[in-house]
A and B are shown apart, each in its own frame.
Chain A
Amino acid sequence: QKEVEQDPGPLSVPEGAIVSLNCTYSNSAFQYFMWYRQYSRKGPELLMYTYSSGNKEDGRFTAQVDKSSKYISLFIRDSQPSDSATYLCATSTIPNAGGTSYGKLTFGQGTILTVHP
């Protein structure tokens, strides 16, 4: 079982729809959560970063974390064709005493999203 599970899709929605992207994780040590957007043949672009349970909003994007269920979500409101990309969730742990656990992101497999006009 992967430490972070993400449905690879593909997911296809009409323009203007609300998109829900989800990941589950198994390791309770994961305390920091990120969502990246990656266009084809480009580097991942950071969309959201959070470390607490609850919601964090930025424009049309809302990140939701439920640590009790080990479940993270990204909602995209009023989706646009320009949102068509692969969305990657990622997690990170609290640094251990040796300081070597930092910097190790654990990624989900990515969800391919297409928003059609």
Chain B
Amino acid sequence: DTEVTQTPKHLVMGMTNKKSLKCEQHMGHRAMYWYKQKAKKPPELMFVYSYEKLSINESVPSRFSPECPNSSLLNLHLHALQPEDSALYLCASSQEGPYEQYFGPGTRLTVT
């Protein structure tokens, strides 16, 4: 099974709200990723977790806070977002190394 699940599918939040995006995989992958994708653009890497430790932070603003509670779960906590943060947020996982990444269906976030 190569499934990565994400909840919620859609999220609308105001600029003062706090919300969280969730991601889960059961493939035994030890690397998990958050990407942001704007319309008609490729995904942009935000964070990489390897063995539940933050490995890469692509200079993402602190209003995005990732968390990896265990090897199967990945959260992205959102606070005080801006309208320009509206996008499709994708989670992915892979074996550690330069291997293929499997993406979830994404959470479509709208910031009002």
Chain A residues with a Cβ under 8 A of chain B: 31-32, 34, 36, 41-46, 49, 51, 88, 92-95, 100-105, 107-110
Q: A interface, by DSSP: helix, strand, loop or mixed?
A: loop
Give the distance to chain B from A51, nearest Cβ to Cβ, in Å: 8
Chain A residues positioned under 8 Å from B66 (CB to CB): none
A-B contact pairs, 23 of them (CB 8 A): A34-B100, A41-B88, A42-B105, A42-B106, A43-B103, A43-B104, A44-B90, A44-B103, A46-B100, A46-B101, A49-B100, A51-B98, A95-B97, A100-B55, A102-B31, A103-B33, A103-B48, A103-B94, A103-B98, A103-B101, A104-B45, A107-B42, A109-B41
Are B97 and A102 neighbours in the complex by a CB distance under 8 Å? Answer: yes
Are B94 and A43 neighbours in the complex by a CB distance under 8 Å? Answer: no
- A44 (CB) vs chain B CBs: closest residue: B103
Q: Is B64 an interface residue (CB 8 A)?
A: no
Are B98 and A32 neighbours in the complex by a CB distance under 8 Å? Answer: yes
CA distance A109 to B38 in the complex (A): 12
Are A103 and B55 neighbours in the complex by a CB distance under 8 Å? Answer: yes
Given contacts A34-B100, A43-B106, A92-B98, contact A103 B42 (CB under 8 A): no
- A86 (CB) vs chain B CBs: closest residue: B40
Chain B residues positioned under 8 Å from A49 (CB to CB): 99-100
Are A32 and B99 neighbours in the complex by a CB distance under 8 Å? Answer: yes
Q: Which residues 53-67 in B have Cβ within 8 Å of A in the complex?
A: 55-56
- B4 (CB) vs chain A CBs: closest residue: A43
Contact among A41, A42, A46 for B102, CB-based, below 8 A? A46
Chain B residues positioned under 8 Å from A101 (CB to CB): 98
Q: Is B71 an interface residue (CB 8 A)?
A: no
- B107 (CB) vs chain A CBs: closest residue: A43
Chain A residues positioned under 8 Å from B98 (CB to CB): 31-32, 51, 92-95, 101-103
